[in-house]
Structure 1
Amino acid sequence: MRADLVPDDLWERVALLLPPTPERRHRHPGRLRVPDRVALAGVLFVLRTGVAWRDVPTEMVGCSGVTAWRRLRDWTEAGVWPRLHAALLAELRRAGLLDLDDCSVDGSHVRALKRGDHVGPSPVDRGRPGSKHHLIVDRHGSPLAVTLTSGNRHDVTQLLPLLDAVPSIRGLRGRPRRKPWRLYADRGYDFDKYRRLLWKRGIKPMVARRGTAHGSGLGKVRWVVERGFAWLHQFKRLRIRYERRADLHQGLLELACSIICLRHLRRSVRPQR
């Protein structure tokens, strides 16, 4: 297994969340189980390179793509990735690297080459099958939550479910944080109904108005969500949706968000020259 596929700091956090390994049978034990770290290397190889599961190089990764896919399925069903993401967000808040006062939301279309859940005709791709990534980030661009819907869903309909998907972020003494004070969004979210709903939650909507000239100044804060999508789609497996199962694609999204948060932590502990 290539050592750079699963760094030690990532593996230390993932290993604490994995379900227990099933015990081997005494009679007819069968083939030895692939170590979890090697299987995670296969998952990360696919996530970063975008290759098909069947094309994972066994001699480089240490396991077949089928084994990595099965382990991804098991870990996704066990809820490993949301807990990993929440734990890293808590570390960021503890280190003072998370600013939850100002958050930004947006959506991004991706083409879906296979049918499955959360796939619909994309209005920006001539009605071809597609899905949508909905992302909320903090003031610095750290991803707080990401959700998956079909490509024909309007961004504003997923605003409240996206806010509900933000975990309880601990890390400091007192109550955990789950919502921002101000929420920045583009004109696609300009609906008075949702403005009122945000006010009821104690969130100040900072949404650009439709029919007005550009230059509202909100882009000075909201641009971080665009950069967040750029970071997210650096993982080539997420640029186009290949997974038929929506939960597996959602699991890869949450794993990518965790890696982005871990990168922010690494920069904070980098020694000063």
Structure 2
Amino acid sequence: MKKKLEIMLPTETSKEGIAKEVIGLFKKNWKVSRNYNPKSFVTFKEKQNPFVHPVDEPAFEGHSYYLTELVYASRANDTKTLEKIEGYELGLNEIRKWNNKGGLCIYTSVLLYKLLTTPGYSSINPKQVKFHQGFYIHDVIPGSLLSMVASRKVGLHAFLTFNDAVLDVSIQQIYDEYDLMEPAFFYGKFPPNTTFYGYEETEKIINKYLYRILKDNGLTEEEWLDHHMTCAVNLVRKQADELAANLKERRNEVSEALHLPAE
């Protein structure tokens, strides 16, 4: 049975009070490297136009896109896009397993962290990427059934920051609570009246989660990363090829309408 990792609290509950509730749930269900202090969490607000160096863009965007598609396929039970590449089943099975544990955000954050920081899989400086465990708070949509019992919603969450901007590829879990295009992920920008709070975690904790993932699938870390890297690259290539084919078809249609030679 999927663990419930969301909590409804009275409007007047302080952020420290919320943090105490969250800390208790994290200690019970997941892994922490130290005793989290309710007053020491870091607040992450929306960050406009965060910078990604052009050299880092292919890895950053490709890996983020791949993870976003995995989350979407798992949540919406729609594998149409992933079926374009071989080997997608491993990632889909992993993400479904962790979703059933209530840890989808942990799985996606660990995988994306490793793809972005492990030498050979991207050129990104590992110091730019951080793994956080914490929670989000967002206002409940006015007029919804949920708004009859609470004005705010709190959810346990794991997410990354890249250059101190929130990078969250698993937010689709609550897509129905936002006006999002699908699939979607947050980088820097996120909907109004939403705030992320986190405790930066250590490489040791990340590797403990990684050990659990690898134990389930019987792969080494290198085999696991190679597989997901290949899937990410192939997915981006397939999408690019399809886009190019569609553009060519469209140009030919225009040329035909204008009585010009087709390509």
| TM-score strictly above 0.5 | no
Please, what TM-score do these two structures have when normalized by structure 2? 0.25
By relative contact order (CA 8 Å, sep 6+), the higher-ranking structure is 2
Please, what TM-score do these two structures have when normalized by structure 1? 0.25
Please state which structure has a larger fraction of its residues in helix: 2
